[in-house]
Amino acid sequence: MGSKLNKSTTYSTGTLLIGLLSTGVNAGWEVQWIERFDGDSVNWNNWSAQTEANYNNEVQCYTADDYSTQQNYDVSDGTLKIIARKKTHACPTLGNQTKEWTSGRLNSKDKREFLYGRIESRIKFHNLEQGTWPAFWMLENRISEQPIKGDNDNVNWPNPGAGEIDVWEWFSNQPDTYITNFFNTSGCAEEVRYTYPNGSSDVLNWHNYAMEWTPERIDFFIDETLVSSQDVSGCPQYKEPMFILLNLAMGGNLGGYIDPTLQQATLEVDFVAHCQSTVDNQATRCDESTPTNGELEHNEQLNLIVYQNGVPTSAVDTSMGEVEVRATFSAEPNLDNYILTWNSGRLTSATEEGNALKFDPSSLPSGHYTVTANLTSLDDADFSLTQHHSLEVKNGDDIADEQDQSTSPDSTSANSSSGGATSGSIAIFLALVVVFRRYFLGVRR
C-alpha cells in the first residue's frame, strides 16, 4: 500500500527536507513539514503500513487497516490512534503465520525523509498492562525494508545507510523509564534511560518527545528537558536522510510477557513535525504553534474505503455480495472540479459509478487484489493524487478454516501458556535481554 503526491511546489511527496547544520545563539525553529492527523483516515501520501515487519519474536501481525470495525489505525478528533487488538490471525503478509495480535506500524520511507534539524512528536500511551512495546523512531533511508523502491535501498541494519535512532521507546515490563538510543557498527552506540518523575503513570499523559540532529550531535528531549546529548561526529551513520516510524509491538524480546487480561492497547499521536533552524524567531519547539516557512503545503488526502453490502470491511467474502470501493478527497468531498480515474487491475469485471468502483467477488479466487485511484484537477494541471489499495479476498472455506483455528483447543492453550513463567524468571530474563541487547546485538524493530 502506498500513494504518491505530485505537485509543483517546493515540498512534494518524497521531498528531502534538510535542516540547517548549526543553530545560532538566538536561533529558533521553523516548521518544514507537519502531520497533524486532522483527517478521518491515515494520509497515505505521507505514510506506508509496514505490514511485512517481523522482528524480535513479536506476536503481532501488522496490518494496513484504517477503515474496518477492527481497524488498527484510527484517525479522529485530531489524533492518530495505533491500536493493537488481541486476535488470533493468519497473517497474510507473513506467509499466513499465526499471530496472536494485530497492530499497526507506519513509516514515511520514500515519502517524507529528513536530514538534520529537529523532529518532534506529541504522544501518550493508554495502557500499563504488561506486554506492550510502542516506539517513535527513525531509520536511514537505504535500509532494505518495506517499501522497497529499488533506489539503492538494499543495506542491512545497522550498517551506514541503515542506522537507527530511537527518540522514544517504552516497554511496559520496565514502565518507569523510556529509552533514547542509537545503533551502529563502529562502537559509538549509546542507550540512555530516562526515568519519568511520576513513575509509570507519566506515560499515560501527553508529552513532547524530540531530537535535535546535526552532523556532530544528537540531543534528545522530553518536553523542555534535555535527556541526553550525544557526540556522533565520528559515527559513519546519521549522515544520510532518515524516515520516521510509529509502531506498537506486542510481546517479543522486550515486550515480553503479555498480561492475559489485556485485549487492546493504544498508542495515540497528536502530531509529528520536522523543523529547521531559523534566525527569524525564538521558538524552542517544533510543534503546531511553531511558525512555518511560508511554503508549507496542505496535506490533501485521497482516501479509499471498502464496503461490502454497505458495511466497511477489511476482507472481502466472495459469498457476501457486491463490493464497493469508495473514493473521498479531504479537501473537497464531492470531487467537484476534479477527475477521478480507476485502474482495477485483475478485477476485470469492475465498473465505475460516481466516486466508486464496484465489482462482484463471487467468481474471484482467494488472494490479494490492488485497485488504484487517480485524482486530477480541472483547475490545476500540475495537481495529481494517486492512491493504491490492496484488497484481501477470501472464500467461505478460508474464513471457516480461520474461525476453526482461532477457536481450537490448541490455539487456546497456546495463548494461555504464555503466562506460565514465574515473575522472578521473567525479571531475570528481561534483565539478561537488556544487557545482551546493549552490549552485543542491539535490537531493531
Bridge partners of 242, per DSSP, are 114, 140
Q: Whose CA is closest to 355, among 398, 325, 385?
A: 325
User: What is the distance between the alpha carbons of residues 155 and 161, in angstroms, rounded to a whole number?
Assistant: 6
Residues in the chain where the model's pLDDT stays below 70 = 1-26, 183-187, 294-301, 330-335, 396-445
Give the pairing type, strands 242-250 and 177-183: unpaired
For 196, the grid coordinates are 519519568
DSSP letter string, 317-330: ETTS--EEEEEEET
> Per the structure block, which three cell numbers stand in for 290?
511553531
pLDDT at 303: 79
pLDDT for 111: 92
Residue with C-alpha cell 529547521?
Answer: 276
**Which triple of cell numbers denotes residue 423?**
515473575
Cell of 331: 479537501
Grid coordinates given for 232: 556522533
Q: What residues contact residue 385 under an 8 Å CB cut-off, 6+ apart?
A: 3, 5, 6, 45, 300, 302, 329, 374, 375
**Of the candidates 291, 273, 298, the residue with the CA atom closest to the CA atom of residue 112:** 273
Rg (CA), the chain: 22
Output the pTM of the full model.
0.68
The packing angle between helices 409-417 and 396-407, to 10°, is 50
Give the pLDDT confidence score for residue 277 in this predicted structure: 92
216-259 pLDDT per residue, tens: 999 999 999 999 998 988 888 888 999 999 999 999 998 999 99
Cα 192 to the center of its chain, rounded Å? 23
From CA 17, how far away is CA 293, in angstroms rounded? 12
Residue with cell 506500524: 105
| pLDDT score of 352 | 92
pLDDT computed for residue 151 by the predictor: 79
Strand 16-18 with 113-115, pairing: parallel
CA quadruple 81, 86, 87, 88: dihedral, nearest 10:
130
SS3 44: coil
* 54, burial (CB in 10 Å: exposed 0-12, middle 13-18, buried 19+): middle
Task: Give the pLDDT confidence score for residue 149 in this predicted structure.
Answer: 80
Tell me how far apart the alpha carbons of residues 340 and 374 are, in angstroms, rounded to a whole number. Answer: 6
Q: What is the pLDDT of residue 300?
A: 62
pLDDT at site 334: 60
Q: Please state the φ and ψ torsions of residue 443, each to the nearest 5 degrees.
A: -125, 130
Kindly give, in sequence order, each residue whose CB lies less than 8 Å from that of residue 434, ignoring residues fewer than 6 positions away. Answer: 174, 254
Q: What is the pLDDT of residue 400?
A: 56
Q: Which amino acid is at 380?
A: D
What's the pLDDT at 72?
A: 97
Taking the C-alpha atoms of residue 11 and residue 40, their distance in angstroms, rounded to an integer, is 23
Phi-psi region of 331 (alpha: psi -120 to 50; beta: other; left: phi over 0): alpha
pLDDT of residue 332: 61
Return left, alpha or beta for 111; rule: phi > 0 is left, psi -120 to 50 is alpha, else beta.
Answer: alpha
DSSP secondary structure letters along 347-366: -TT-EEETTEEEE--TTPPS
Question: Are 31 and 72 within 8 A, CB to CB?
Answer: no
- Residue 123 bridge partners (DSSP): 207, 269
Residue 440 dihedral angles phi and psi, to the nearest 5°: -120, -45
- Domains of the chain: residue spans and CATH: 14-292 (2.60.120.200), 302-400 (2.60.40.1080)
